[in-house]
Structure 1
Amino acid sequence: MDWNCLRIGLALAAVLILLSAGLEDVRSREIADRKPIALVVLAPAWWWSMGLSLWPGAPIQLALAAAIFALFAFAFYLNAMGGGDVKLIAALSLWLPVQPLVAMLATMAIAGGAVTLAMLAERAIGRLRGRVASGPVEVPYGVAIAVAGILALREPIFNQFV
């Protein structure tokens, strides 16, 4: 079997799931549970295609995902992030070893800041046009997660050609 084809197919599936989650978050400010679940279900096939060992590789990935879930669940508890965002980040963390995961989280923070600024600018423009919005700005953070995840997932696919 050609492992590169499997790897590329799985990465493409993950990219499509992330794009779908980002678009859904923009439209409805929610991310359906089936999207993080799909990432979780596909993660072991990704591990296998990447040559991750059953011991200690798989337990390390599971522990890393549990730690990421706990961290972002605390953000959810503080009302700083939505539940769908937390599940999507945790599911995505199953796909990335420590170093790429840290880079993805940094990229996600930057992209999240950009999305937040765009939402604030949209609200300010609305006020200039006479539309007054009430309540806090709802940031579709799924967009930032999708952008960061897609950038992180492209690394193992395209770096082999460098």
Structure 2
Amino acid sequence: MSTILPWGLLALLAALLLVATWTDLRSRTIPNWLNLAIAVLAVPFWWASNLPLWPDAVLQIGVALLIFSLFAGVFALGAMGGGDVKMIGALALWLPWQALLVMLVIMSIAGGVLTVALLIRRKLARSETPIEVPYGVAIAFGGLWVIAPVLSERILYQFG
């Protein structure tokens, strides 16, 4: 097995996160096929990274289900879209719990900054329409924040 495969899969994840950002900005939706691709590609990533099925892969699935369930509650409150919840759950399949916590913190900060920027924009436009926060942007930002150092280190190692 090639050692480049996990890095290629991480690069593919980064590309999928950028596509999610684009679609969320454009239409305020994240397509199901995109979230499914992110989730399904976690399995070959585990295999390429030599992640043991027990207990590590099972733990990844359990943490992802927990995160999905927590954010499904946020969705039920009307504070987040369904595509956002699916994207967080799918991304959780890729990240060890420590990296996932960092991603969630960065995502929250980015989401807050994005919300404030949209509120300021609405105020300057003197509009009273409610804002729709494209939270997929914040989720993708958090995911890229966590995986970018890994990818850049590998690229520098390969070509440096």
Normalised by the length of structure 1, the TM-score is 0.90
Cα deviations across residues 119-160 of structure 1 (Å, max 9, x unaligned)? 111111211xxxx342x2110000000111111122443456
5 Å-filtered alignment, 1:4-19, equals 5-19=4-18
Which residue of structure 1 lines up, in the alignment, with residue 131 of structure 2?
Answer: 137
Supply the distance in 1 between the matched residues of 2:109 and 2:59 (Cα, whole angstroms): 26
5 Å-filtered alignment, 1:6-155, equals 6-127=5-126, 132-134=127-129, 136-155=130-149
- Segments of 4+ moved more than 2 angstroms: 154-161
Normalised by the length of structure 2, the TM-score is 0.91
Q: Give me the CA root mean square deviation.
A: 1.3
Distance apart, 1:8 and its partner CA: 1.7
Supply the distance in 2 between the matched residues of 1:111 and 1:138 (Cα, whole angstroms): 15
Which structure has more RCO (C-alpha within 8 Å, separation ≥ 6)?
A: 1
Structure 2: give runs of 5+ residues left out of the alignment.
Answer: none
Structure 1: give runs of 5+ residues left out of the alignment.
Answer: none
Percentage identity across aligned positions? 46
